[in-house]
Chain A
Amino acid sequence: MDKFSFDVAHMLAGSLVLVSFVQLYQDRIYALLNVFALHAFVLALSVAWQAYVHDAPHLYVTALIALGFKAVVIPVVLHRIVQRLGIHREIETVVGIGPTMLAGMGLVALSMVVMLRATPEADPLAREDLAFALSVVLLGLLLMVTRRNAVSQVVGFMSLENGLMLAAAGAKGMPLVVEISVAFSILIAFIVIGIFLFRIRERFDTVDVRALDRFRGERG
């Protein structure tokens, strides 16, 4: 692979990590959804570039799914849900922005150390891609644990899945089975989540997960 295409792939994967960081400090739910759309867009670009570089046309399908479904459909639908539920107020983060960003940096450093050490012999694009992908996965996890709102937890989960897609696209020649399954699972997951949101709404009139905390197993 020539230097230019390598650099572009590198830049796109790096941007995905950057957008993950941007997600971490959004404290308004609409802003978070917009950043998530950007996240999915960058993922689509990155996967499409991999498809072009590796000459793997099936990856274009994955890129299209990321673009159409995750960058457009899901954010729009979530916007609607948020609007209908009237929860566009500030997101309450469990931990402050500062410590969260520091934790995020720590996680990225961790994934670099782990992946780059473990894969000295793999081809450079694959190993750096994996390192970036692991960072995105861990940042998605961090987003999930620092938020209380069900919608933002869902966004965290989806950006985690974006990281997995990046890893799958970077693994050269990985069968289509997995890409489709990932996209499909996101779809199912989304339906499930939709049901949940509506059920939670029905029962508690809020999607703040704290409302669920009244039940802590065996207090009574």
Chain B
Amino acid sequence: MSVAGIDAVSAILLIPAAAAAVLALLPDYRTGSRINVGAALLTLAAALSLFWNRPPVGRYLLVDDLNIVFIVLTTFVGFTTSVFSASYIAHELKTGRLTPTYLRFYHAMYQVLMFAMNLALVANNIGLMWVAIELATLTTVLMVGIYRTHEALEAAWKYFILGSVGIALALFGTILVYMAARPTVGEGLDAMVWTHLVARAAGFDPALLNLAFVFLLLGYGTKVGLAPLHAWLPDAHAEGPTPISAVLSGLLLNVALYALLRFKMLLAANPAALSPGPLMVILGLVSLVFASFMLYRRRDIKRMFAYSSIEHMGVITFAFGMGGPLANFAGLLHMTMHSLTKSAIFFAVGHIAQIKGTQKIADIGGLTETHPVLGWGLVLGVIAIAGLPPLGIFMSEFLVVSSTFAREPLLAIPLVFGLLVGFGALLLRLGGLAFGEPRGATGVAEASYGPMFAHLALVLCAGVYLPGPVVAWFQNVARLLG
């Protein structure tokens, strides 16, 4: 049993790593994209098997109720995105935006990114987790710059500089946690093992722990895309290949948030340390309200949805900051729904931008008439992300708002305000994009609709009926988060 469990964890790390090596050597891009999909599917299967075979906790790797949710979500979206990416890049090759050599590099990097994210999620060692997140950052920097245009290079440079600064601050925070733990846990490796830390956190020096958390919040918060540290996010989303935008929004932001949650649990285990909740609540609200207003002035479609990601990461951070079983439950649900919906939207937007040959909102219109499947897919996605019933995000936002009203009615006012402002902006833009006079090129769509509708169907299901075992699992995790 335990042997099989260890194998499952190694599998979700080794499959992407091996696939990356193979893809880097393979010259043919068609085989490359198939191997990419196959490897992602295998990783997903290995991740699902973790439910039955949970490995024992090691000094480096850990699988518990919390990170299984993240791992399954990551590998699932990783798989669907690889399917989408296969049809997306074929078009990019045809239009000459990418060359076969770059595609080889792209596929290898995609698997390295999957490896890095999985490693960050299963790491039981705060140093290892930091290394993994750093690796994920560097990989995405390279992917964002892959088109080598003016805009792509600036976006990648900005992302690189801001990401590195964030990562550096997070490392400083990690060192401070070690310093705080050393007197209690003892020198050496043990003082970086998360499970040891959390078990003995009550004896740590609270002042050092507080300071560490501030650095970690700023550092990993940059990666989550929280305002005012979000400046890299819209550029990186808009200028990279769309599959990468989907993975960035849907997964990488979550992984950074996961790191923050781990440290939040550490602080919660020390009664004398400051409570991390209010800091997260403030950053979350600022991001939400700021991004909602920014949504109105967007002229680039991918950039608009990037701001919408900042908005939703704000809501999620807010919910986890509030804490308590109900708000944590809502935060987890919202995170899952947001990942699924936002990547579905990016799948649609990717094909739309390819057909129209532009990302400018002004040049895109009447999609439901010219491309009914894509157009209605986008409508459904935007309705979901704006938070209309009966889709999943409505339910999670409703839970966030109602739990806030019950405990801190004053905080609920800016929350609801931000949500409504964002809602208005999205629907306003949707009208022009999907309905009315068709604008722009009307070429035939060579799209794969499977991934988009699979995600949207899941979001719809979750909104109408959430299965009992899922609810029980999320409730359990919400209790763990405290």
Contact = CB atoms under 8 A, between A and B. Distances in A.
Interface in B167-207: 168-169, 171-172, 174-176, 178-179, 182, 187-189, 191-192, 205, 207
Contacts of B182: 171-173
Interface in A112-154: 114-115, 117-122, 126, 130, 133-134, 137, 141, 144, 150, 153
A199 B188 contact: no
Contacts of B299: 218
A177 B128 contact: yes
A124 to B, nearest CB: 13
A212 B303 CA distance: 18
Contact of B168 (A126, A160, A212): A160
Contacts, number: 125
Contacts of A200: 153, 157
A185 interface: yes
A164 B168 contact: yes
B215 to A, nearest CB: 9
Contact of A171 (B125, B154, B178): B178
Nearest to A123: B183
A167 B145 CA distance: 32
A181 B130 contact: yes
Contacts of B138: 188-189, 192
B269 interface: no
B153 A196 contact: yes
A87 B440 CA distance: 44
Nearest to B210: A118
Contacts of A215: 150-151, 154
Contacts of B169: 137
Interface residues of A, number: 50
A168 interface: yes
Interface string B130-168: 110011001001100100101101101100110011001
A155 to B, nearest CB: 13
B332 to A, nearest CB: 30
Nearest to A214: B150
Contacts of B148: 199, 203
Contact of B134 (A115, A119, A185, A204): A185
B175 A175 contact: no
Contacts of B238: 217
Contact of B187 (A118, A173, A181): A173
B235 interface: yes
B168 A175 contact: no
Contacts of B174: 178
B208 A203 contact: no
Contact of B189 (A157, A177, A213): A177
A74 interface: no
Contacts of A130: 176, 179
Given A185-B131, A192-B138, A214-B150, A118 B157 contact: no
A174 interface: yes
B298 interface: yes
Interface string B265-281: 00000000000000000
30 contacts: A114-B211, A118-B207, A119-B179, A119-B211, A120-B207, A122-B208, A126-B179, A134-B172, A153-B161, A157-B161, A157-B165, A160-B165, A171-B175, A171-B179, A174-B191, A175-B127, A175-B188, A177-B128, A178-B127, A178-B192, A181-B130, A181-B131, A192-B142, A195-B142, A196-B156, A200-B157, A203-B148, A212-B153, A218-B298, A218-B300
Given A153-B161, A157-B168, A214-B150, 18 more contacts: A118-B207, A150-B157, A164-B171, A171-B175, A173-B182, A173-B187, A174-B175, A174-B191, A177-B127, A177-B192, A178-B174, A192-B138, A203-B153, A213-B154, A217-B238, A218-B299, A218-B300, A218-B303
Q: Which 5 A-B pairs have the closest CB atoms?
A: A173-B187, A212-B154, A118-B207, A118-B211, A181-B131
Interface of B: 125, 127-128, 130-131, 134-135, 138, 141-142, 145, 148, 150-151, 153-154, 156-157, 160-161, 164-165, 168-169, 171-172, 174-176, 178-179, 182, 187-189, 191-192, 205, 207-208, 210-211, 234-235, 238, 297-300, 303
